[in-house]
C-alpha cells in the first residue's frame, strides 16, 4: 500500500528582518517530519505562496494536511484589533494556513492542527482566540513551560466522545508553549480536551472529514518516543490513508 502524502505547512524565517522575502528561508521544525515518517506517512513541506490558486494546487497533491506552529494570527481575521500581549504576525503564513485548511476540507482531506494550527483551524471556521491568555483571570496553569520541549508539563482532560479518547484515555500529560488559545469554538466543532483551568486544548469537527486541532506540541514528544503522541500521529496518518 502506498504511504499517504502529508502536506506540512511551513513558515518564512530570517534572522535579519531587513532581508527581502526572496532571501528568507522556508522553515519547518524537523520533529514534524520525523513524526509523520514514524507514523507511516510521506512528508511534503508546503511553502507560503502568492495567490489562492497556487496554494490550492499544492493541497491537491496531498492526502492530508498538517498545520504547524508559528506566529500569532492577525487578529482582524477573527474580528478584533491587536491588544496588549499580541505577538508578531506573518500575513504570508496566515494566507497559507487559511487557504490550505479550506481547500483540504472542501476536498475531504484530513486536517491536523498543532499549536498555532488549532488556532488557524478555529479561525478558519469562524471561531475566535484569546490574544494573550496571561490576561485571562481564570487561566491559572502555566502554559509556557520552563522545561525541554519533549517533556510534558501539565494535564489535559479528554472528553469521552472525543476521537482522542481511544488514543490518550481520559487524561494525558502534555507539553505547552503558547500564549494564545481558542476562545469561542467555531460552529460545528466540539471541545475534545481542556486544561484544568478551562483553556481549550483540543477541538474537532463533529461531522464530515477528519479535522482535529491540539494546542500542545505532540510532534516534539512523539519524536522523543512518547507512545501516546506517536499513536496520535498514527491516528491522523491512518485517516489520510482513507
233 falls in which pLDDT band (50, 70, 90)?
very high
124 in active site = no
pLDDT given for residue 86 in this prediction: 87
1 falls in which pLDDT band (50, 70, 90)?
low
**Looking at domain 5-241, which of 3.40.390.10, 3.40.50.880, 2.60.40.3140, 1.10.10.10 is its CATH number?**
3.40.50.880
Phi then psi for 3, rounded to 5 degrees? Answer: -80, 135
**Per residue in 192-215, pLDDT tens?**
999 999 999 999 999 999 999 999
Domain ranges of the chain: 5-241
Average confidence score pLDDT of the chain: 95
92 in active site = no
Return the C-alpha cell found at 75: 487578529
115 in active site = yes
Which string of b and e fits 93-132 if b means at least 16 CB within 10 Å? Answer: bbbbbbbbbbbbbeeebbbbbbbbbbbbbbbbbebbbbbb
Q: Strands (DSSP E) along 183-238, which ranges?
A: 189-195, 200-205, 211-214
Range of lowest pLDDT (79-88, 151-160, 211-220): 79-88
Percent of the chain with pLDDT over 90: 90
Residue from 103, 154, 217, 240 carrying the catalytic annotation = 217
Residue from 103, 201, 204, 219 carrying the catalytic annotation = 219
Residues near 99 by Cβ (< 8 Å), separated by ≥ 6?
A: 52, 55, 56
**Per residue in 85-112, pLDDT tens?**
888 888 999 999 999 999 999 999 999 9
Strand partners, 66: 8, 112
Q: What is the pTM of this model?
A: 0.96
pLDDT given for residue 85 in this prediction: 85
Return the C-alpha cell found at 118: 488549532
**Residue 171 C-beta-side C-alpha neighbours within 13 Å:** 8
15 falls in which pLDDT band (50, 70, 90)?
low
Residues near 112 by Cβ (< 8 Å), separated by ≥ 6?
A: 64, 65, 66, 67, 210, 212, 213, 236
Residue from 103, 115, 143, 240 carrying the catalytic annotation = 115
Instruction: Return the H-helix or E-strand segment holding 35.
Output: helix 30-38
SS3 212: strand
pLDDT given for residue 111 in this prediction: 98
Amino acid at each position: 500500500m502506498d504511504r499517504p502524502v502529508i502536506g506540512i505547512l511551513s513558515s518564512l524565517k530570517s534572522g535579519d528582518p531587513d532581508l527581502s522575502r526572496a532571501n528568507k528561508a522556508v522553515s519547518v521544525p524537523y520533529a514534524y517530519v520525523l513524526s509523520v515518517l514514524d507514523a507511516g506517512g510521506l512528508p511534503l513541506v508546503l511553502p507560503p505562496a502568492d495567490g489562492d490558486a497556487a496554494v490550492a494546487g499544492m493541497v491537491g497533491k496531498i492526502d492530508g494536511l498538517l498545520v504547524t506552529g508559528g506566529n500569532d494570527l492577525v487578529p482582524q481575521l477573527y474580528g478584533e484589533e491587536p491588544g496588549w500581549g499580541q505577538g508578531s504576525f506573518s500575513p504570508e503564513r496566515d494566507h497559507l494556513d487559511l487557504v490550505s485548511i479550506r481547500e483540504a476540507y472542501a476536498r475531504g482531506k484530513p486536517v491536523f492542527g498543532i499549536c498555532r494550527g488549532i488556532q488557524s483551524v478555529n479561525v478558519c471556521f469562524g471561531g475566535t482566540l484569546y490574544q494573550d491568555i496571561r490576561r485571562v483571570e481564570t487561566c491559572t496553569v502555566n502554559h509556557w513551560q520552563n522545561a525541554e520541549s519533549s517533556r510534558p508539563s501539565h494535564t489535559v482532560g479528554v472528553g469521552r466522545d472525543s476521537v482522542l479518547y481511544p488514543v490518550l484515555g481520559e487524561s494525558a500529560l502534555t507539553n505547552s508553549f503558547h500564549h494564545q488559545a481558542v476562545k469561542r469554538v467555531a460552529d460545528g466543532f466540539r471541545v475534545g480536551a481542556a486544561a484544568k483551568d478551562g483553556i481549550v486544548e483540543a477541538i474537532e469537527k463533529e461531522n464530515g472529514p477528519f479535522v482535529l486541532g491540539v494546542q500542545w506540541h505532540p510532534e516534539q514528544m512523539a519524536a522523543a518516543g512518547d507512545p501516546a503522541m506517536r499513536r496520535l500521529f498514527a491516528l491522523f496518518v491512518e485517516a489520510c490513508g482513507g
